[in-house]
Amino acid sequence: MRITTWNINSVRTRVQRALDLLRAHDIDVLCLQETKVKDDKFPREAFEDAGYHVSCHGLNQWNGVAIISQEKPEEVFTGFPHQPGFAKDPEKPQNREARALGARIRGVEIWSLYIPNGREITDRHYDYKLDFLYQLSHYAAGHTQSKLLLTGDFNIAPRDEDVWDIEAFRGKTHVTEPERAAFQMLEEAGLEEVTRRFTEDQRYTYFDYKGRRFEKNEGMRIDFQLASPPLAKHVTGAHVDMEERAGEKTSDHCPLSADFDLPDFDSVR
């Protein structure tokens, strides 16, 4: 079972690239983030005409998550329990954003997640990011005995080597101790990041458009796949798709794939 996560940075702009990716790599489940489209404007037909099932959650032109799958999900979840909301004005309702979508496929609960960026350390968005991760880790802690996968754009570089120059990030989001501690809470809850050990030679998953970062190999590792023990034991490989990032008019993120040897899944494909 091949599961791929990709911050697509606008699905309507890159629908053909997504379709080509699905076919070229025989992806069973494609988790997308930053789809940037309301549900009624999602290019559903393009995927369905190609034989895929579409689950999506988008409220406006910002954020947005989706799961494209070869099989129809047995169940779909929009947001997780106690997922916090956000509004720039603290006096206004803190409505939940389109940042979390789950689907149960062949008994595996798969989540496409777009963790808040945090913006600046002094911004309310930074506290929102930490709260989001805290609530997510609380949810994960209660589901580690089942097959659970949290995948997506986490907007955190857990280690110094996950950024091209740690000194360039001092005092900025993505590398602060509270963010890294929040990421570690997911691991302490019982989840394992299953792609890193297979992709040490493919260090980064994100390259900013500015400054020709990709050409200079100046990137960040901020996309991950975290699996519960019953699922993590089945991982057989992972891949960071640098070729996709090298393409014209592509996203600033690389697709990140993980392969799981699940006999109950493979036997019916």
CA angle 124, 66, 194 (to 5 degrees): 80
Q: Mapped to the 3 state alphabet, what secondary structure does 106-145 carry?
A: CCEEEEEEECCCCCCCCCHHHHHHHHHHHHHHHHHHCCCC
82 is in an annotated binding site: no
Residue 65: beta bridge partners? 33, 57
Name which of 150, 108, 113 is nearest 32 in CA terms. Answer: 113
48 is in an annotated binding site: no
Q: State the catalytic residue, choosing from 28, 153, 162, 223.
A: 153
253 catalytically annotated:
yes
Q: How far apart are the first and last CA of the chain?
A: 9
133 CB burial (10 A radius; 0-12, 13-18, 19+):
buried
Q: Do residues 134 and 116 lie in contact, with contact meaning Cβ atoms separated by under 8 Å?
A: no
Q: State the catalytic residue, choosing from 57, 234, 239, 253.
A: 253
Long-range CB contacts for residues 209-218, cutoff 8 Å, separation at least 24: 209/252, 213/164, 214/245, 214/246, 216/164, 217/164, 218/164, 218/165
155 is in an annotated binding site: yes
95 is in an annotated binding site: no
* CA 174 – CA 161 distance, rounded (Å): 13
252 is in an annotated binding site: yes
Q: State the catalytic residue, choosing from 52, 53, 114, 206.
A: 114
Q: Do residues 47 and 35 lie in contact, with contact meaning Cβ atoms separated by under 8 Å?
A: no
253 is in an annotated binding site: yes
Name which of 89, 173, 92, 182 is nearest 126 in CA terms. Answer: 173
Q: Do residues 69 and 30 lie in contact, with contact meaning Cβ atoms separated by under 8 Å?
A: yes
User: Could you list the active site residues?
Assistant: 114, 153, 253
Binding residues for Mg(2+), by number, are 7, 34, 153, 155, 252-253
Binding residues, by number, are 7, 34, 153, 155, 252-253
